[in-house]
Amino acid sequence: MKTVLILSGGMDSATLAHEPGLGPLLCLSFDYGQRHVRELTAAAAIAAAVGAEHRILRLDGFAAACPGSSLTDPAVAVPHGHYAAETMKATVVSSRNAILLATAFGVAVAHGAEQVATAVHAGDHTIYPDCREPFLVALEEALNLGVWSDRRIAIRAPYLALSKIDIARRGGELGVPFELTWTCYDPQGAVHCGQCGACEERKEAFRDAGLVDPTEYAA
């Protein structure tokens, strides 16, 4: 089974890339004008670590066309505090997952892959509506209706019911090189800021999973 894997460069997709049974991987990362573009370097390192093909797809003009998100709009500050806080909704990028998954689906069709894999998890549900099961089920149905194919391509989200802590623990079991991953939404050069919601969740995941955190934080 060949899998097209959306690889952001973070802990979750890095862990998914190490899961057995996915078959040959074609890893896709996306440059959509995100503030934390440093994640693409991490994604390349993770793909190399698992011996997978890796492609970075550019979505030129996406950030400029979608103002209002702290991840793509330099006029909007990245919120600090806990990941579950209401303020984290400022990090929502309009229809991002729909666009990334649809693009990955098209690549899967072209390359004869049986599935598209994404590492969305339970902690995403309250912030990102496009990380919820009903959305993923509906999108899979719509995308399959839109292609001439003698096989159905699945959208797999095996971590949908898991927390970030669960994923960190699983990554520890699989020997994921977490030192290669990047999480921060508000990078301080080559260092994680340590204060944004993504960094807070990363710290919490390592701590509560009983793992050593290999990350250098500015604060």
Please write the tens of the pLDDT for every residue from 160-218.
999 999 999 999 999 999 999 999 999 999 999 999 999 999 999 999 999 999 999 99
* Interval 45-51 mean pLDDT: 98
pLDDT of residue 86: 77
Going along the chain from its start, the domains and CATH numbers come out as 3-181 (3.40.50.620)
215: helix, strand or coil:
coil
Is the pLDDT at 52 greater than 90? The verdict is yes
- Please state the pTM of the whole predicted model: 0.94
Is the pLDDT at 85 greater than 80? The verdict is no
Q: Are 205 and 168 in contact (CB under 8 A)?
A: yes
Query: Quick one: DSSP state of residue 36?
Result: T
Neighbouring CB atoms inside 10 A of 41's CB total 15
Is the pLDDT at 138 greater than 90? The verdict is yes
- Mean pLDDT in the chain? 94
Q: How confident is the model at residue 128 (pLDDT cuts 50, 70, 90)?
A: confident
Q: How confident is the model at residue 156 (pLDDT cuts 50, 70, 90)?
A: very high
Kindly report which listed range (106-115, 146-155, 205-214) carries the lowest average pLDDT score: 146-155
Place of tokens 């921060």: 184
Copy the structure tokens of residue 99.
């666009």
Is the pLDDT at 108 greater than 90? The verdict is yes
- Kindly give the pairing relationship between strand 25-31 and strand 154-156: unpaired
Share of the chain above pLDDT 70, in %: 99
Is the pLDDT at 24 greater than 80? The verdict is yes
Task: Report the C-alpha gap between 61 and 59 in whole angstroms.
Answer: 6
Q: How confident is the model at residue 81 (pLDDT cuts 50, 70, 90)?
A: confident
Is the pLDDT at 83 greater than 80? The verdict is no
